[in-house]
Amino acid sequence: MLIIFIIFSKEFIKYYIIMFNLEIIIGIILLLVIKIVYNIDSFIPNKCNYIFIHENGTFKKEVIEILEKSNIKAKHRLCFTNNIKNANIIMQLVKREDMENKHLTLSGSKGNTTLDKNGNKVYFSFTVNYKNKPSQICIDETNWQTGASSGLTIDKYRKYVIQHEVLHGLGYDHQPCNKETAEKDICPVMYQATKGPPIGFKSGYIVRDIDYSKKL
């Protein structure tokens, strides 16, 4: 009788171990299916893109407010950290006169300007990505205060430029603004709106699926 009980107990334990492992496997498969179907990372535990902002004033507060309301936060599980050592992305507001040297220091080139459709010089904010260290985002302070040539209000321009540069930091590339990419003639956020939209289009500041479609 004792032998039968021991054998039964062993088989019972084996059965529950198998069932427990099976539940774990099914759970992992479901998470992967959800990730693939919805193309999001937020279901994967402990995966966070930490952002460190070099300022404790209004710039930092506004950046956090913008990203908290952006769909980028859910899609890429953005988190904010006060410890620069934890950061995947480092962001700072830089004075216009320092932008060229900052770009040279971080990327090795001075290329953060272009001409708008009227031939006027345009200064860009920029993002530099690295393989083994945090991405660096530099926001042009003058553009931050004026909205540049985007045609957007200052508030909307700020939403545009922060999301645009963070998407670069997450590995997304520029988009053109044309009939294929624009929605109701509004350009993608990943279009370079700082230089102004093409004729017949308006700059966009709300991230759409098209903004996630082209990787660097």
Residue 15: what pLDDT? 62
Quick check: 31 pLDDT over 60?
A: no
Residue 175: what pLDDT? 98
Q: Specify the amino acid at residue 23.
A: E
What share of the chain has pLDDT > 70, as a percent?
80
Q: Specify the amino acid at residue 77.
A: R
Tell me the pLDDT tens digit for each residue of 130-167. Answer: 999 999 999 999 999 999 999 999 999 999 999 999 99
Domain coordinates in residue numbering, the chain? 1-38, 49-212
Instruction: Say whether pTM exceeds 0.75.
Output: yes
- 121: confidence class by pLDDT, cuts 50, 70, 90: confident
Quick check: 29 pLDDT over 50?
A: yes
**Residue whose token pair is 């599980």:** 77
CATH superfamily entry for domain 49-212: Collagenase (Catalytic Domain) (3.40.390.10)
Residue 110: what pLDDT? 78
Quick check: 42 pLDDT over 50?
A: no
**Average pLDDT of the segment spanning 111-133:** 84
Host H or E run for residue 189 = none
With b for 16 or more beta-carbon neighbours within 10 A and e for fewer, the 149-188 pattern comes to: bbebeeebbbbbbbbbbbbbbbebeebebeeebbeeebbb
